[in-house]
Each structure stands twice: as C-alpha cells, then as structure tokens.
Structure 1
Amino acid sequence: KDFDNNDFQSKLKSYSKVIWYEIESEKDAIEIFTRINMGKIPLTNAELIKALFLNSSNFPNSKSEEIRLRQLEIASEWDRIEYLLQNEELWYFINNSENELPTRIEHIFNIMKNIEGVQNGNDQYSTFRFFSKKFKTNTKNEIDNNWKEIKRIFQTIEEWFSDRELYHKVGFLITSGEKITDLLIDVKSSQKNDFKKLLDLKISEKIKCNNLEGLEYGDGRIKNILLLHNIQTMLSNKNETSRFPFDRFKKENWDIEHIHAIATEMPKNKQHRIDWLNNSKEYINDDEKLTSSISDFVSSYDEKIKENPESFDELANSVLEYYSKKSHIETDINDLSNLVLLDSGTNRSYKNAVFPAKRKTIINKEKEGTFIPVCTKNVFLKYYTPDLEQMTFWDESDRKYYFENINTTLYQ
C-alpha cells in the first residue's frame, strides 16, 4: 500500500498526545527530565537496527507477501546468530571479556562498523547511526547487501570456530591482543592457505624472542609463550580432537605459576601457613630435625609467632632450602623452566606449595574434572623427563627437558 502523507498528518494531529512539563526557570531541565525517565527501558542498538532491516519501506515495488517472507527470513537468521553467540565457547573465542551488551549480535554490528573504519563517536547509539545513515536510500539492494555482509562476517567466525587449526591460531591471536577486525579484513583479501601463512607470521611476532633462556617471570611475553606451548602441543597431535578452552582460560583468570616454590610467595595467614608446613613435611623423609621443627611449630603456632614474628619465615626458608638442595637449585628460579599456566582457583589452593604437594593437587583437581592445561599436566607428571629417577623434586634435569620442549615446539 502506498504511503498517504495527508492521512498520516491527519492521524498524527488527531491521535498524538504530548506530555508537557512546565518547570520554573531556575530549575535544571535536564536533571528533571532524567529523573522522570529514570527506570524506563531504553531501546538497544540491536533493536533499533533490527527495525531498520525489517522496515517495509525498505522494500519498494515489492508485494506485501514478498516483504513478509523477506522479513521472516532476516528475523530467522538474526535469531540464529544471536542463539549461536550465546555459546560461551564461541563468545570467548572472539572476545577477551564477558558480554556487556544487551544482545550479543550487537557485537557483529560493531565489528562491521569498525571494518569500514567509520568514526561517528563512541556513544551508546553510534552503531545504530552508522546503519541508519546507510539506509537513507531506502532500497532493497542496500538492505540485502548489508545483511549479506553481516552474515559473511558471522559465517567467517563460524568457519574459524569449526576448523580446529583456525580455531587455535585465531583464538591465540585474539587472546594475545590481535583485533578481530584486522583478521576479518585480512581473510577477505586472502586465499585460505595465504591466510593461514599470515596467521603463522602474526603468531611468530607475538612470541618473538632473541634470548629465550633470559626471559624471567614478569616479562609480558611469557604468558603468550606458555599459552602457545599448550595450544601447539594439542595441535601437533593430528589424531586429537580436543580443543583449548579459551572460555575457561579467560573466565578463570589463568596465570603464571612457579613449579618449584620460591621464597617471595609464602602464605600469610595462620591456617595457610600451617597447611603449607604440613604438606611440605609429608615429603621430607631424611631430615628428622627439620620435620620435628615443623611439628613443634605447628603445635604451638601462636606462641612461636608471639616470641618471634619472623619465626615462620625462618622455618619456611629452611624447608625451601631442603627442597632446593634436593633439586640442585641455589637461588629462586624465575625463568621459563620453572613456570607453567594454571587457573587462579588451583593456583590459590597451592599457597606456593612445594613440588610434590603441587603435583598431588594437580592430580586431585583433574580427578574432579578440572581442566588442567596439557603442558602443566605434563610437567607435574614429569612426561618431559626421559630418564625418570624421582617424582618428589623439580630438579635441574626436569627443567632442562621442559625448556627444550618449549623451545622445540615453538621455535624449531
């Protein structure tokens, strides 16, 4: 039906109601307006953009049945995209933080705006204005072309997500700070094999290091190196179908943990200290004097601390000295050979425990169904050490073979 401007104006004048507030001149009109409208549910970018796509005036010269079917088609595809984006594995594959948008499809609209490099502000409705400006012509081709681009972007993400190699490589790059916008621009202008080569080049830049042995705890590259070590280890097994859980990596705040305990991370409160000493004592079988000192300290903790506030630190240093001597370690080890990735929950349960106590924790966590990164599990089960002599200490030989595996997996 053709638009009747006279009829529209007649109905607008006859049936429209305006709420008018008269305020005193000295009052703040904006403050009053804000207070009156507080609690009202605002329209989201996605709702406004959906109205643009489904507006019947965007389908000129089309029959009403054709318009209805096209609207149903777009609405159905819209719902499918939103439904799939609710999958946390997919969401955290392309994002490094939890969703703060009312609907997740809005993220795809933001990506399209960023791909086109449009700078129209960063306010709440900037993305809506981007699409509104596009649809000024009110043509069916404009609607179809823009919706096809939205689908192309999402279908590309779906392809990456379903392809095991692309999933891990793209996922690593996004996790390490690469913008998905740049990757989508790259893939649009590349053949699949060329795109994979480009991904490899970008990945190598993320872990570029001229002196791997010199990297120490605190260097920003270490987390990327440990993350990629896990990913590449999984990818190298062509018969394996498991995938690295980027959602858990990001939601559970995985971080870097020392394998052999260091003195600067000792527990601070009473119960944690007692637990740490008891766990450490369990694996000391050839130093009766030290185990007696631990038992004596634990049984009279308050008295010992009152007599000497530094008494725990002194005893803890003796324990660490025992384990370090057994591990042939003279100083705190902060290089790659003594570092792994672990989720914050398991990390906290360590309280910087000695190696065998950490190993026990890892095994129990995995029995409970906690995901343990493959390389972290390999470390505590000592799979990197070919000539295994003991499971109690993380010694020089263990560190050597672990470091060699990192170097070989990532750089050779």
Structure 2
Amino acid sequence: MTENKIELKSVCDLLGLKFFIPSYQRGYRWNDQQVEDLLNDINDFRPESVNNSDEGTWYCLQPLVVKKVKRSDSHCDEANEEENWYEVIDGQQRLTTIYLIIHYFNEMWNGKRKTTLPTISYATRNDSYYFLRSLEIDEAQEAVTPGKEFREYIDYFYMKQAYSTIHKWACKQGDNFDNNDFQSKFIHRTKVIWYETIDEDPIKVFTRLNIGKISLTNAELIKALFMNRSNFRVSDVNHLKLRQQEISSEWDNIEYTLQNDEFWLFLNEKGYSRPTRIDFIFDLICEHNELTLCEEKYCQIGSDDYRTFRYFYEYFNSAQSDIEKCWNEVKAYFQTFKEWYDDLELYHYVGYLIIYGHTISDLVAEWNNAIDKASFVKSLKQMVKAEIDKCPGIDFQYNVDGSNKGRSKPILLFHNIQTIVNQNKNNLDNSKYQIGVFYKFPFHLYKIESWDVEHINSNTTNEEDDTMTQEQWLLNVYLSAENKIQSKIIDFFAKDSEEQRNKLFDEIKKHFHQAENWTPEEKNKIWNYTLLDSSTNRSYGNALFSGKRRVIIGKDKGVKISIPRFTRDRRLEFTAESKAESCFVPPCTKQVFMKYYSAIMTDANYWTKEIDAEGYLRDIKECINKLDN
C-alpha cells in the first residue's frame, strides 16, 4: 500500500540525495534579508547538546514537498541507468540556500574535510548544477565569481548575491565566531519537514501550494500521520482501509462544521487566516499536552508555526503512540464545542465570555472539572458576573464625559444575552414550542460588524431651534397629525423667512407633547445607552428619537428606510428605499425603540426619563440579578 510519507529530516539526511527542480518552478529569488534571517536564526539557536545524535533540541525549517521519480543523471558524461531522484514541488528556494551555505563553508572553512553536497538539477537551466558548484569568493575583488564563464540569467544573479550575503555575514561575525559550532547546528540540528507525496500530478500540488497561496498547514501534515498505516494497530488490510476512511470522513465533518462562521465565530474572533480550521483543535491538544508527551520531547518541539505538527509527529514516533486515543482526543474537543453550541444556555454564556477574553482552554478546563452541566452553568454565571463587576457600579452613575459610554458595553451586551436566555427558558416550559422557534444571539454578526455604545436620546442639546431639527421633527409628526395641523406643517416648508418658520413651528409644537429637559449627567447614564453598529449610527447622526426609531425599523426590515421630505409645491415626497448593509439589530436595541420597557405608551417622538429610561434600567438590573439564581 503506497501512501504519502511525512517525517523530519536533518540537513545531514539531505546530503547525497538527488533533487530535480522542474520547469513549472520559478527561478531562485531569495534576497539578502531572507538569507541573513536564516543564518541568524541558526547562529542564535542554542541546542541542549551539540552532537551527531538525534537527541536534544533542534531548529526546524518549513516543509520540503517532494515526489520520488526515476530519471538519469544528466550531469554524467557516460550513459547511466535511471536512479531515484526527488522532484521538488515546494521548498526549492530553501533547498538551494541550504546548498549555498554548505558549499560556502566547504570552500572557505573546511579545507579537505568537505561536507557532501546534495545534487540539485534544474530543468530550465541545465548548467545551474555546474554554476552552483563553481561559485567562489574572489578575495582580491571582494566579489563572487563562478569558476568558468556562464551565460547571464536572473537566477544566477540571485544565486551569486545569496552566496555573497553568506560570505559578508560570516565576515561580520568577528573573532568569536565558532564556525564548527555553526556548521554542526546547521548540519545536525536543523531539520526540514519532509513531505513525500504520491500524487500522480505534482503540478496540481504545486499549484495549490504556490499559485493558490495555500500553505501546507499543520492539519494537512497531521492528517498524513493519521493516514499512515504504520500508526495503526491493525494488521488486516481491509479493516485498516475501513478505519482510515472512517477517520477521514469524521475529519471532513469536523472541518465542514468549523467552516460555518456561525459556529466558528461563536468560539473565535474574526481574522483567522489559516485555510483549514481543524488546526484550532490540534493547537489546543498540543497546548495542554493532552497526549502526555514526555517532558523532554515536549520541550523539543519549539514554538514556531509548525510546533503543533511536530508535537503529533513526536507522539506517533513514541512508544506510547495510540492512534485511537489520539483521534478520540480530537473528537472529544469537537463534541464539547458542539454541545456548547447546541445548548441554548451554554451557547450564550460561553459566547459572551469568549468576547471578553476568556480562553477556550480555560473554559474547557472548567468544563472537564465540573460535576455536571448545572455546576458548569453556575461557574459560567460567576465568570459573567465578574465581567459585569468590572464595569461602573450597579447604580450606573457615569461621568459627564460621554466618551466613557464604552465602559457600559459589557453590560449592554449581557442585557441582550440574558434577555434571550430568559425568553428561551420560558419557551422551554411550553410544550407547543419546538426547538426551531428558539432564538440565538448571532455572535458571528456581532463580531463581523462594528458595534459600539450610542445614545438613545441625542447627547447634544437639540433644543429644536435650528432649521434641520425643526424639519425633522415636523416630518416625524406629520402623518399622525390632524388635517389642520398637517396644513400648517406644509405651510412651514413653503415659508422662505426664518422668522416666519420659527413662529409657525412654535405654534405647531403647542399641539404636541413637549420634550423633557435632560441634564448632561442624565444623558450619560446607562438608561440612555444602547448597542448600535457604526453604519446605522452614521445614517441617522444626531437625529431625534423618532428619527432614530424610523431608521432602526428600516434596518430590521433589511432596508435603508425612506426619509420623506416636502417639496416646494407642498407635496410629501419619499425617496426610494435601498437594501441595508445589514439587518441585524440586537434584540434590546430593537425593544428600546419599540418602547418595550415602558409601563405605558409615551410620545413616540421622545425617549422619556420617568417612563422609558427608568423601565429600561429596571430591566437591565433584573437581568443582572438572574446571575445570582
């Protein structure tokens, strides 16, 4: 049974191997900085011991993806039989640089005891093999020169430049530079992730890794370990194939679920850049050493991007290796996340805590230590309460400075969360309701969009003494006004004189409830705050409560609401509606503008203190008190 091979090879293991760089690869292009970074990393690396054994720590390079092929050695003068070569699908830039470093130290430091070089043949520049071997330092001209004449190619320019960079770097190290130590670390303590593919079409693999900019992920490398038959304790071929297919199918199901943003952004923040998301679970297993890798090996796996792969690699190469135990750990993490996601109470408390910095690792540890679900929920509530307690006191007395309103964001978000939890609990007690009617707060939308705390009643004075505010107020009351008042409103828009407009406005206002006077301190309490996304906030600016209400209703309907205006010929004109950027409105924000918390229905044009704001504040406090139950 032929399968992909994955292992760690030291640079020493590459010596003497034959590599072929196919024509679909671009030429060598590493710049000075890339070469220097590699040299500095090797030089700064401090292994636990420096010898020729595999024990101790080591420095790891990124993957070298190859495919074994049969071909003749085109560099021999006489005909020869086909030999084993490795077609380099990904990693030829690193491989060529490794060659240049070994070649440089052979020529400048090693005398007669030269290190064996790998063979590298390039399909597009057949004499690149000779060019690389002939590079030397001309001390007199302080330049890199090939030992004979070659045609000028851009590949050769970069190869010469890299060789020169190696020389300049070595010269800068000074008298304290121990070249033997450096070479030992480079040859024996530097490893590559060797990925030998059996794919019949290496160009397809190359396209995915390079043209598509999809790197070989930890998950893909780890999957090769899981699919390696030598890691199974099964001798029957048919049983082995079946188990491989089962694990592969379960793997795909986990990845498919994690690719759903509703599920993924419940657990994570936006901005995850890896193409596969199951890496997330492998990282957690590695972080907690769930496979109980011995301390010595665990300390050797390093801290770079491929740390997690090396963790699993070391595990599968240990005496304790058990693929069923390993896969069960993966499934256990996934099943835990799935249970949290599907539970209407756990989902909301876990999602809230993750937003405010609690790690998945800590929550999983709490889950594993809990006696049952009820005790876990109690722990979650205590953690949520701790987050609430970090906010200003329960009396919500804020500073006058409106810029501090963001401090109430955890409370406002929690108010939405607990409101939904309360509603779901009530529905659970009603046998008529099926699970499909239950509502879950869309954490994915909350994280994707930009949300902040905004004033319900405008934070400006807004005495309705400027033309724009007067026009807005009149448009809001027009449709509900008596015919006589509607005629006066139309007259207002027809007046050219500001004095006439002000006089008519004062006359119209006498027929309606007058706005309350809010002090700056009152406007900067939580009873006047709600959650809004930035696009909606920009759309209504410093509007009256009724204007904001109209925009919120439109957003909830999925449209940018039509804003009416009066024309000079006294017609009420509505602009065309357009699709809203987003139609998600947090439930408590919607309820604020629907006057949901008010004991009686007050004037829809205003957010009142004694009726609306007090009722809203009372509901927030009641939700917080639920954490103690």
Question: TM-score, with normalisation over the residues of structure 1?
Answer: 0.78
**Equivalent residue number for residue 173 of structure 1:** 353
Distance of 1:49 and 1:125 partners within structure 2 = 10
Contact 1:328 1:395 (C-alpha < 8 Å) held by counterparts: no
Contact 2:527 2:614 (C-alpha < 8 Å) held by counterparts: yes
Distance of 1:362 and 1:274 partners within structure 2 = 24
Determine if the alignment matches structure 1 residue 92 to structure 2 residue 92: no
**Equivalent residue number for residue 417 of structure 2:** 231
Q: What's the Cα RMSD here?
A: 3.7
| Corresponding residue to 2:289 among 116, 124, 147 | 116
Greater per-residue helix proportion: 1
Contact 1:280 1:353 (C-alpha < 8 Å) held by counterparts: no
**Equivalent residue number for residue 249 of structure 1:** 446
Contact 1:281 1:294 (C-alpha < 8 Å) held by counterparts: no
Distance of 1:109 and 1:294 partners within structure 2 = 70
Distance of 1:171 and 1:56 partners within structure 2 = 39
Aligned partner of 1:128: which letter? F
- 222 and 79 in structure 1: CA distance in 2 versus 1, 3 angstrom threshold: same
**Equivalent residue number for residue 306 of structure 1:** none
After TM superposition, the structure 1 stretch with the greater mean CA deviation from structure 2, 146-155 or 210-219, is 210-219
Q: CA deviation at 1:16?
A: 1.6
1:3-18 aligned at under 5 Å gives the runs 14-17=83-86, 18=119
**Equivalent residue number for residue 149 of structure 1:** 329
Contact 1:207 1:221 (C-alpha < 8 Å) held by counterparts: no
Q: CA deviation at 1:93?
A: 0.5
Distance of 1:87 and 1:55 partners within structure 2 = 29
| Corresponding residue to 2:395 among 194, 212, 224 | 212
| Corresponding residue to 1:380 among 593, 607, 626 | 593
Distance of 1:93 and 1:153 partners within structure 2 = 15
Aligned partner of 1:19: which letter? I
Aligned residue for 2:596, secondary structure, equals: coil
1:326-365 aligned at under 5 Å gives the runs 326-331=515-520, 333-365=523-555
1:10-409 aligned at under 5 Å gives the runs 14-17=83-86, 18-19=119-120, 22=132, 25=137, 26=144, 27-28=161-162, 42-60=215-233, 62-116=235-289, 120-137=301-318, 142-191=322-371, 192-208=373-389, 209-215=392-398, 218=404, 221-237=407-423, 238-239=426-427, 241-263=438-460, 278-283=471-476, 326-331=515-520, 333-368=523-558, 370-397=583-610, 398-409=612-623
Aligned residue for 1:16, secondary structure, equals: strand
After TM superposition, the structure 1 stretch with the greater mean CA deviation from structure 2, 144-153 or 97-106, is 97-106
- 275 and 109 in structure 1: CA distance in 2 versus 1, 3 angstrom threshold: farther
Aligned residue for 1:198, secondary structure, equals: helix
Contact 1:92 1:98 (C-alpha < 8 Å) held by counterparts: no
Distance of 2:386 and 2:240 partners within structure 1 = 50
Aligned residue for 2:530, secondary structure, equals: strand
Aligned partner of 2:618: which letter? E
Q: CA deviation at 1:278?
A: 4.4
Aligned residue for 1:102, secondary structure, equals: coil
Aligned residue for 2:585, secondary structure, equals: coil
Aligned partner of 2:336: which letter? T
Contact 2:349 2:380 (C-alpha < 8 Å) held by counterparts: yes
- Greater RCO (Cα-Cα under 8 Å, separation 6 or more): 1
Question: TM-score, with normalisation over the residues of structure 2?
Answer: 0.53
Q: CA deviation at 1:60?
A: 4.8
Distance of 2:272 and 2:495 partners within structure 1 = 50
Contact 1:58 1:138 (C-alpha < 8 Å) held by counterparts: no
Aligned partner of 2:614: which letter? K
Aligned partner of 1:148: which letter? N
Q: CA deviation at 1:110?
A: 1.5
Aligned length: 368
- 114 and 264 in structure 1: CA distance in 2 versus 1, 3 angstrom threshold: farther
- 155 and 283 in structure 1: CA distance in 2 versus 1, 3 angstrom threshold: same
Q: CA deviation at 1:98?
A: 3.6
Contact 1:261 1:355 (C-alpha < 8 Å) held by counterparts: yes
Contact 1:350 1:361 (C-alpha < 8 Å) held by counterparts: yes
Q: CA deviation at 1:223?
A: 1.1
Q: CA deviation at 1:328?
A: 2.2
- 207 and 295 in structure 1: CA distance in 2 versus 1, 3 angstrom threshold: farther
Aligned residue for 1:326, secondary structure, equals: coil
Contact 2:268 2:354 (C-alpha < 8 Å) held by counterparts: yes
Determine if the alignment matches structure 1 residue 410 to structure 2 residue 610: no
Aligned partner of 1:102: which letter? P
Q: CA deviation at 1:219?
A: 5.6
Ranges in structure 1 where 5+ consecutive residues have no aligned partner: 3-8, 266-272, 299-322
Aligned partner of 2:218: which letter? N
Distance of 1:258 and 1:24 partners within structure 2 = 72
Identity across the alignment (%): 38
Distance of 2:520 and 2:494 partners within structure 1 = 22
Distance of 2:625 and 2:552 partners within structure 1 = 28
Distance of 2:255 and 2:469 partners within structure 1 = 48
Distance of 2:261 and 2:450 partners within structure 1 = 15
Cα deviation, 1:35-68, whole Å, max 9, x if unaligned, reads xx97675311111010111111112562222221
Aligned residue for 2:604, secondary structure, equals: coil
Contact 1:58 1:143 (C-alpha < 8 Å) held by counterparts: yes
Aligned residue for 2:441, secondary structure, equals: coil
Distance of 1:248 and 1:280 partners within structure 2 = 32
After TM superposition, the structure 1 stretch with the greater mean CA deviation from structure 2, 361-370 or 376-385, is 361-370
- 295 and 225 in structure 1: CA distance in 2 versus 1, 3 angstrom threshold: farther
Distance of 1:30 and 1:169 partners within structure 2 = 59
